[in-house]
Structure 1
């Protein structure tokens, strides 16, 4: 049976990994406790496989975590952990399996940091820009252009929920200069970004073409850093998301996270400040003879 990765499974996997570490046990010993294979244990830790309530309680007890209150926290993480919403109807069919995981994680995250090189972050794209981006893409399985537009923009609903995530976007000037369809579409994007940047939980920085950068500034590879809070004792789940041709990866090991965090620090230091970025966006609009609000 195909495994389904979800945000809540990933958070529970982190909690189990923490219990293992505190108890001085290995994944192989966890496999013995659960009478299962080493490969299934790795799926559990990666958030791709589920545990029954009985197995979860037995595991916690055998690892020395016997507090009933903590058990309730584990059970709450497990509750509905297999669900990510309904993906086979309407616009949601436009989400690939990899993007379904990303959307699910975004809905649980309290902090999102994203660096983009060529195309503006999906969470910042207005409908008109999305329409231009997907124009010419043939319909498949009844999936229309309107479905694709709604799927892309529906992700941005996380900014309107109670306690929305703090989002910080840094992007190359190329994301803004590239013309999709027409100049009016670009202007609409720039105005939308200015509006977003004025929200108290959204921060934007642009790295201009003429801004000097050091050799150690990782300007070539796009990546996203996500943090998911949890009520457990392991602390928040932190992930680095990278994407390439037919490759989507979520990294949570400390060495990789430290490397991406360092890259993020260098990028934010090299990019324009928040108010400078708004002035830059307004100047781009003025270049086209438009005015910003």
Structure 2
């Protein structure tokens, strides 16, 4: 496939390849230079640019460093990698274009805040999933977290039910690491996390988890969890209703400055197991 034949709109892989070529040429960097820096073959770089090979996380990170990028390629990577059901494949792009994300999760730690082992334990619970599919899904989930490491990340407000901290997904060791990770994330200037006590969970919160995304450009978007399938929508009436639901749930949450203590209280559960 020649440069002129590569249509960025043909697929996420074609879009990544076209962007890699454009950014490389803008900076006067050759394929050989990228190959040497990333410790891969020139042929592989060429194949990625021509949408014949799938880029991986390590390669993309190294190219970002070499070309002095700020997430230009990393934000496309989740679209390229296998991201699960078709309905979800548009969500990483929405996350990458967000200036604020608000989420309520009554069952598990939000995906952008999960450790690899916690994510792995959750994904392994899917009936019929293979080890390879689990690892691919974990890689994609972790790659999505790069949105919080950008120079100008979105404001991220998460509310979770206290039961999430008590549910020993993956066992004691996995949960200890996950709760330690949450404590570290509390220092992030753009992340707020609040806990809703089990004794005061509003019934409206039991309807399921969701994420509200306010976009830098384009319509705002909403992701809704369900037992059978998830849904992504930009319908204003639904976004408005769920936004009101988020505010109602937040009114039951402990103040932000009590989150660390709430997490430490639950960590005791996993210390001697």
Tell me which interval the TM-score lies in, with the shorter structure as reference length. 0.5 to 0.7
Three-state SS of the structure 2 residue aligned to 1:110 is: strand
Structure 2 vs 1, CA of residues 279 and 251 (structure 1 numbering), >3 Å: closer, same or farther?
A: same
Matches within 5 A, 1:135-214: 135=124, 140=130, 143-211=132-200, 213=202
Give me the CA root mean square deviation.
2.9
Whether contact under 8 Å (1:93, 1:143) holds in the other structure is no
Tell me which of 264, 268, 271 is aligned to 1:282: 264
Quote the Cα distance in structure 2 between the aligned partners of 1:218 and 1:5: 37
Distance 1:98 1:285, change over 3 A: same
Q: For each residue in 1:177-203, what CA deviation from the matched residue of structure 2 results, as whole angstroms up to 9, or x when unmatched?
A: 111231111111111111112211001
Pairwise CA distance, 1:114:
0.6
2:88 corresponds to: 99
Task: Give the equivalent residue in structure 2 for 1:267.
Answer: 249
Provide TM-score, normalisation by structure 2: 0.65
Structure 2 CA distance for partners of 1:219 and 1:123, relative to 1, 3 Å:
same
Q: Cα distance, 1:97 vs. partner?
A: 1.9
Cα deviation, residue 250, structure 1: 2.9
Partner of 1:248: 230
Q: What is the aligned partner in structure 1 of residue 211 from structure 2?
A: 224
Distance of 1:4 and 1:219 partners within structure 2: 40
SS of the equivalent of 2:248 reads helix
- 1:257 maps to which of 239, 246, 251: 239
Give the match for residue 77 of structure 1.
none
Structure number with larger C-alpha Rg: 1
After the TM superposition, which parts of structure 1 deviate over 6 Å for at least 4 consecutive aligned residues?
3-6
- Seen in structure 2, the aligned counterparts of structure 1 residues 188 and 106 have a Cα distance that, compared at 3 Å, is same
- Residue segments in structure 1 that go unaligned for 5+ positions in a row: 7-82, 231-235
Contact 1:95 1:151 in 2 (8 A): no
Normalising by structure 1, report the TM-score: 0.61
Contact 1:240 1:250 in 2 (8 A): yes
Q: Across the two proteins, how many residue pairs are aligned to each other?
A: 201
Q: Distance in 1 between matches of 2:179 and 2:77?
A: 32
Unaligned runs of 5+ in 2: 1-8, 13-74
Rate the CA distance shift 1:143–1:252 in 2: closer, same or farther, 3 A. same
The structure-2 alpha-carbon separation of the partners of 1:118 and 1:218, relative to structure 1 and needing over 3 Å to count, comes to closer
